[in-house]
Amino acid sequence: MTNIIDVKNVSKSFGHLKVINDCSIAVEEGSITGLIGPNGAGKSTLFNIIAGAFPADAGSIHFAGEDITHIPANQLFHKGLLRTFQIAHEFSHMSALENLMMVPGDQSGESLFNAWFKPGLVRSEELAVRQKALDVIDFLSLGHVKNELAGNLSGGQKKLLELGRTMMADPKVVLLDEIAAGVNRTLLQDLIANIQRLNKELGYTFLVIEHDMDMIAKLCNPVIVLAQGSVMVQGTIEEIQNNEEVVEAYFGTEAH
């Protein structure tokens, strides 16, 4: 199996605080990899570095074999590496469908997504984008709220819409940063099921930061535990939960 993301010996400090410390992680293509760790472990900082939001002080990052260490976020977006947070929050005064149509897309027409949904004759680019947005709405079972103003959607529906916006850009890898936060249990199951379908049916790779252990257990293999800016251990959720060092550093002290 190939690694679609390879982070090697990355370090990052903010002032005197070393937040990422000689950290190396690999994300296998086609996996849903979890990234967990106590508050302040450096998870979001590592996401920001991978997604090109700010540079590492040292180390390298490869995406699909290409050195992306110095490539900014907007270029990574077009290469298919997306962070949910990176995509603007919903435009509350526009409908759910219009929100999807706002995502800058790749008009190649040869994307995995288009191949999957086999849209009919495309008469114009706008019609194609609209059709694609409708397919995304359909995929996520949001048809009943497609004309609703995004600002009126529930927390969980907004998260589904956020996932939908990543789909509009035909990603290869999606970095999900605490997508379960504020989502009720029923919609959380929809969110989990949709992430699994995107992984299995469309081949998306996911790297997931999550404090919700239930979600991590259902979705992720492997799970990487970050502590004080470096990898403490990596394994299946069972291995992680049975690892004494992890229990001590994470489950023992954190009430998540």
Ligand X SMILES: Nc1ncnc2c1ncn2[C@@H]1O[C@H](COP(=O)(O)OP(=O)(O)OP(=O)(O)O)[C@@H](O)[C@H]1O
Contacting residues toward ligand X, per CB under 6 A: 14, 19, 37, 39-45
Q: Nearer to ligand X by C-beta: 84 or 99?
A: 84
- We find the least distance from the C-beta atom of residue 37 to ligand X, in angstroms, to be 5
Q: Nearer to ligand X by C-beta: 153 or 249?
A: 249
- We find the least distance from the C-beta atom of residue 19 to ligand X, in angstroms, to be 4
- We find the least distance from the C-beta atom of residue 61 to ligand X, in angstroms, to be 16
Cα separation of 62 and 224, whole Å? 18
Q: Nearer to ligand X by C-beta: 15 or 120?
A: 15
Q: Nearer to ligand X by C-beta: 44 or 189?
A: 44
Q: What is the phi/psi pair of residue 38, to 5°?
A: -60, 165
Preceding amide of 104 cis, omega within 30: no
Q: Nearer to ligand X by C-beta: 99 or 230?
A: 230
Q: Are strands 81-83 and 173-177 parallel, antiparallel or unpaired?
A: parallel
- We find the least distance from the C-beta atom of residue 59 to ligand X, in angstroms, to be 16
- We find the least distance from the C-beta atom of residue 180 to ligand X, in angstroms, to be 13
Residue type, 124: S
Q: Yes or no: say if 46 and 226 are a contact pair by the CB < 8 Å rule.
A: yes
- We find the least distance from the C-beta atom of residue 121 to ligand X, in angstroms, to be 46
Q: Yes or no: say if 136 and 182 are a contact pair by the CB < 8 Å rule.
A: no
Q: Nearer to ligand X by C-beta: 12 or 165?
A: 12
